[in-house]
Amino acid sequence: MTATTSPIHPVDDRVGALVSGIADHFAIEGHFVSGEEINSGHINSTYRATFHLKDGSARRYILQSINRSVFKDPYAVMNNVEAVTRHINSRVLRLKKDLGGQTLNLFPARSGGSWIEDPSGSVWRCYNFIEGCVTHDVVENTRQAYQAARAFGSFQDLVSDLDPSSIHETIPDFHHTRKRFDRLMEAAAADPHGRLDSVREEIDFIRRREALADSLLDLAAAGDIPTRVTHNDTKINNVMIDADSDEAVCVIDLDTVMPGLALYDFGDLVRSATSPAAEDERDLAKVEMRMPMFEALVEGYLDAAGDFLNPVEVSQLTTSGKLMTLEVGIRFLTDFLDGDVYFKTHRPGHNLDRCRTQLKLVERIEEKEAAMDAFVRKVRRGRN
């Protein structure tokens, strides 16, 4: 089983004091009992706080500090999160959409607003902790794939009437694959840490696929696919799954919610859900594009998002998976050449391992691309 509730660091006095001090700034009911660090995600620092209520029950919360090295304007991030959670909760209440009965909510700070800034300048927020759920780093069955795709499709549906211009672009050009490609070539030319010789094969692989970098951008520039409010980080472990029913409960990690293309979200689902290998798997023989998983993703996503997507968007579902896998490989390789300054790493060459896994998946998608496109067309015809 790869289902987790996220790795928890052992409780220690330092962490407990930190979590207690931060939690005290939020309007949390009850008495603080303990705090643990949750070792998940590449970017932010995350902690879980447990409180006891007067009736003897316990309630848990998530406290998170925003990585200001990645998010240069954490206040814009929080404005986006506020706007999206408020909009989703309003629509869920109004339309009674079924997302498992739970959504992500911000708890207010005692001083007002939905975040606090500590003396060191770190910006913190407090979320509800969703009980009875797990996350998956690797999709284990088609039901999970369907549920994850349906969750992200439902997320897009719920924000489909939210004006993209009201949402800040917190990481400029986050999914601008042409600029990602050009930045990689700059890093390779500069080779600041003398690592280029070890990645020439990967650089050549990416160069041969340069045209792919412009595929969705050209369609957007032509007006064939619209700008929408999108999640922009649709990894499977950003969906909370009910531990008993395997049903999707809630989409989490809203920091990268920005104006973008719906296809970015679906493409990243393909990247993260179709291979049984972990994102940093060193044994590339384990990397494959599982067709049943792709089919489940298409069906789940279109079941939730099919009513608002236009025909061009649907026709590019396969391409989006290949593009987003290539883009993430580019990002990992760029960070490796730059000295591992963006993504958290846990071993030497970690970002290079991650890159190689992505590029191998691009190969596997290319091998099955015709069959993937044929399935999308089949599902599309069945809905017309």
Please report, for the domain that includes residue 13, its CATH number. Answer: 3.30.200.20
Dist CA 47 CA 64 (whole Å): 6
> Phi-psi bin for 157: left (phi > 0), alpha (psi -120 to 50), beta?
alpha
Dist CA 175 CA 328 (whole Å): 9
Domain end: 129, 160, 190, which one?
A: 129
Please tell me whether residues 86 and 205 are part of one structural domain.
no
Please tell me whether residues 57 and 184 are part of one structural domain.
no
pLDDT at 11: 54
Domain end: 112, 129, 146, which one?
A: 129
Domain end: 62, 94, 129, which one?
A: 129
Is there a domain that residue 355 lies in? Answer: yes
Q: Specify whether the CB–CB gap between 131 and 50 falls below 8 A.
A: no
Please tell me whether residues 139 and 124 are part of one structural domain.
no
pLDDT at 241: 87
Please tell me whether residues 224 and 148 are part of one structural domain.
yes
Q: Specify whether the CB–CB gap between 340 and 263 falls below 8 A.
A: no
> Phi-psi bin for 25: left (phi > 0), alpha (psi -120 to 50), beta?
alpha
**Tokens 């660090």 appear where?**
37
CA dihedral 203, 293, 266, 123 (to 10 degrees): -80
Please tell me whether residues 252 and 357 are part of one structural domain.
yes
Is there a domain that residue 87 lies in? Answer: yes
pLDDT at 1: 27
pLDDT at 368: 98
pLDDT tens-digit profile, the chain (384 residues): 233 444 444 456 788 888 899 999 999 988 998 888 887 655 678 899 999 998 888 999 999 999 887 888 999 999 999 999 999 888 876 665 444 445 788 999 998 889 999 888 889 999 988 888 888 877 889 998 999 999 999 999 999 999 999 999 998 899 999 999 999 999 999 999 999 999 999 999 999 999 999 999 999 999 999 999 999 999 888 998 888 888 888 898 899 999 999 999 999 999 999 999 989 999 999 999 999 999 999 999 999 998 899 999 999 999 999 999 999 999 999 999 999 998 889 999 999 999 999 999 999 999 999 999 999 999 988 876
Please tell me whether residues 101 and 165 are part of one structural domain.
no
Please tell me whether residues 367 and 239 are part of one structural domain.
yes
Segment (H or E) for 367: helix 350-383
The count of structural domains within the chain is: 2
Q: What is the CATH number of the domain that holds 282?
A: 3.90.1200.10
Is there a domain that residue 2 lies in? Answer: no
Q: Which two tokens stand for residue 368?
A: 């099955």
Dist CA 80 CA 84 (whole Å): 6
Q: Specify whether the CB–CB gap between 98 and 92 falls below 8 A.
A: no
Is there a domain that residue 1 lies in? Answer: no
Dist CA 130 CA 247 (whole Å): 14
Own/partner long-range contacts of 202-211 (Cβ < 8 Å, ≥24 apart): 202/329, 202/333, 202/352, 202/355, 202/356, 202/359, 203/333, 205/359, 205/362, 206/181, 206/326, 206/329, 206/330, 206/333, 206/359, 209/326, 209/362, 210/181
Is there a domain that residue 205 lies in? Answer: yes
Please tell me whether residues 100 and 164 are part of one structural domain.
no
Is there a domain that residue 146 lies in? Answer: yes
How many CB atoms are located within 10 Å of the residue 11 CB? 14
Please tell me whether residues 76 and 216 are part of one structural domain.
no
pLDDT at 95: 64
Is there a domain that residue 122 lies in? Answer: yes
**Structural domain range at position 15:** 7-129
Please tell me whether residues 250 and 144 are part of one structural domain.
yes
Dist CA 271 CA 323 (whole Å): 9
Is there a domain that residue 199 lies in? Answer: yes
User: 3-state class of 285 per DSSP?
Assistant: helix
Please tell me whether residues 230 and 251 are part of one structural domain.
yes
Please tell me whether residues 125 and 242 are part of one structural domain.
no
